Amino acid sequence: MSTTLSRLLARISSPDDLRALAPEQLPALAAEIRSFLVRKVTASGGHLGSNLGVVELTIALHRVFRSPGDTILFDTGHQAYVHKLLTGRRAGFDKLRKRGGLSGYPEPAESPHDVIGNSHASTALSYADGLAKARQLAGDREHAVVAVVGDGSLTGGMAWEALNNLGTAKDRPVIVVLNDNGRSYAPTHGAIADHLAALRGDRLSVTVFENLGFRYLGPVHGHDLAALESALRTARQLRGPVVVHCITRKGAGYRPAEQDLEDHLHAVPAAGARSLTRVFSEELCALGEQLPDLVCVTAAMPGPTGLSAFGARYPGRMFDVGIAEQHAVASAAGLALGGLRPLVAIYASFLNRAFDQLLLDVALRELPVTIVLDRAGVTGPDGPSHHGMWDLAMLSAVPGLSVAAPRDAVRLRELLRECLSLPGPSVLRFPKGPAGAELAALERSAGLDILWLSGRDVLLVGVGAMAAACVDAAERLTSAGIGVTVADPRWALPVTPGLAELAAEHDLVVTVEDGVVSGGVGAAVIQACAPGARVRTLGLPRTFVEHGTREELLASAGLTGPAIARAVRLEHQV
């Protein structure tokens, strides 16, 4: 990297410094930003391709608008690294996505330039609507609200609910910057994608945005700084609802990202062993041949959830519905009503959006829909909005729903097959990470796998991935003279009668789960046990857990073998 380039980025500690640069210096700054991102993100892991694609766009935004007086909102937040660089957080990239370090998403605690701390799609437009209304009520007519939204985010219904409200507000200056790269993780599908493609090809005279009441500017070359600044300045001067349609390339300026046709290095993963997602994908493909009525649904994430291989092997039996989890689950209900066996694969943290559909469109109708939740429990460096820690507490309230939690790859394959054989709704949840070693059972009794048996003082109930930590704790406790049984219920919810019977044979029952401790499996076990039973529940705290490695965060929550053993000893002594 040249000295000239180094000097440019070193001079930027705020957007004011950026605005002080001459226009002819900006291409060199953009090149240095890309070099910086490649170096830092490939070292730490994180979102690379999406940030490389918005370098010029973010520079232009901060030259035209004066954050934080003007509010710039990033939908999803995958593309906010450049924004962080330009708002004085360059040094923080040494600890990007590490515990105590810089978040991988916008984070208000880091900077006044981050107003929202979101990480899922289609929300920024609603935030913008509310912020604009608040400013109008406060008499502020000077400052703009800018929402940067990807074309993938427009596949989510919430975005259109917001556009429906924003378009008629002629006296509220909200600027929608549409970052159109034709993708979310995967290529964008559907009628909106077709409409945007027609706009890119200059084949339409009227846009859907204009029909909704917006002024439309574009398409604008998303890597042409002069064109971007000109369009954004015009949008600001219009002082009403405006869409600025910018055409960008995900991964722009970095050949490996440009040539990665799967997702243009959307995320740079840490190197590791074979993942549970890969195991799920392999088993699903095998089941596809045995079950001709099996169909799969993804909410714009066929690769990350393990459905890509199924879609390639069985064309026509995998449906990408866009970033629309609510629609995905309700559509799966329709597939089931049509006589098929649908499977919906989404991240555990994104199930929150589709809870109503799971409850009232699937479970109420007792439909055989299987929901596969990847990234259950603590996910690690993606932080609080991506931890899949709420699912067990939510799912415990759903009547007639069977929830499976495999402890290893063998059980994942086994329980997936069982889910797809049930007459009603089911959920299969597993964590992000390597498949690890098999944890074999000593015996299977009453539907439970017994993993350790040294006495009847304490029953440790290890839910899914927590089973291995329970076995570790049992070994320590046995060495201390405490008799322990470790049981893996396999089906976490509802509590099987066999588990309640086994609990009655022990002096103390301790449940261990990688979900929020309030209202989860432990609470269900307490309700299932006889009155007076001593039950202690261990799990994640009822709070928003920060980002860090999975190991660090589980240790902080007391969900390691040594910590479980200590908690049991204290309880056993009472």
How many Cα atoms are found within 13 Å in the side-chain-facing hemisphere of 497?
0
C-beta contacts of 101-106 below 8 A and 24+ residues apart: 103/383, 103/547, 104/46, 104/47, 104/77, 104/381, 104/382, 104/383, 104/547, 105/77, 105/78, 105/80, 105/382, 105/383, 105/385, 106/74, 106/77, 106/80
Are residues 522 and 554 part of one domain?
yes
Token pair for residue 414? Answer: 């086994």
pLDDT at 5 over 60: no
Residue 301's pLDDT band, with cuts at 50, 70 and 90, is very high
Q: What's the mean per-residue pLDDT of the chain?
A: 94
Please check if 382 is assigned to a binding site. Answer: no
Domain count, the chain: 3
Domain boundary among 268, 298, 329: 268
Please check if 483 is assigned to a binding site. Answer: no
Are residues 289 and 218 part of one domain?
no
Are residues 293 and 208 part of one domain?
no
On whether residue 434 sits in a domain, the answer given is no
Range of the domain at 175: 3-268
Are residues 204 and 248 part of one domain?
yes
pLDDT at 2 over 50: no
Specify burial of residue 371 (Cβ count, 10 A radius: 0-12, 13-18, 19+).
Answer: buried
353 is an active site residue: yes
pLDDT tens digit sequence for 475-527: 999 999 999 999 999 999 999 999 999 999 999 999 999 999 999 999 999 99
Please identify which of the residues 325, 407, 411, 432 carries the catalytic annotation: 325
Over residues 73-80, the mean pLDDT reads 90
Please identify which of the residues 98, 135, 250, 536 carries the catalytic annotation: 250
Please check if 120 is assigned to a binding site. Answer: yes
On whether residue 183 sits in a domain, the answer given is yes
- Give the pLDDT of residue 271: 54
Four-residue CA torsion sign, 37, 42, 48, 53: positive
pLDDT tens digit sequence for 107-149: 999 999 999 987 688 999 999 999 999 999 999 988 999 999 9
On whether residue 435 sits in a domain, the answer given is no
Please check if 78 is assigned to a binding site. Answer: yes
pTM recorded for the entire structure: 0.93
Percent of the chain with pLDDT over 70: 97
Dihedral class, residue 446 (left if φ above 0, else alpha if ψ from -120 to 50, else beta): left
Are residues 338 and 214 part of one domain?
no
Who has greater pLDDT, 290 or 204?
Answer: 290
Please identify which of the residues 353, 411, 432, 490 carries the catalytic annotation: 353
Q: Are 348 and 393 in contact (CB under 8 A)?
A: no
pLDDT at 261 over 80: no
What is the number of other CB atoms lying within 10 angstroms of the CB of residue 172? Answer: 21
- Give the pLDDT of residue 76: 82
Give the CATH number, domain containing residue 280. 3.40.50.970
- Give the pLDDT of residue 4: 47
Please check if 211 is assigned to a binding site. Answer: no
On whether residue 438 sits in a domain, the answer given is no
- Give the pLDDT of residue 1: 39
pLDDT at 106 over 70: yes
How many Cα atoms are found within 13 Å in the side-chain-facing hemisphere of 141?
7
Place of tokens 């009822």: 542
Please check if 122 is assigned to a binding site. Answer: no
pLDDT at 182 over 90: no
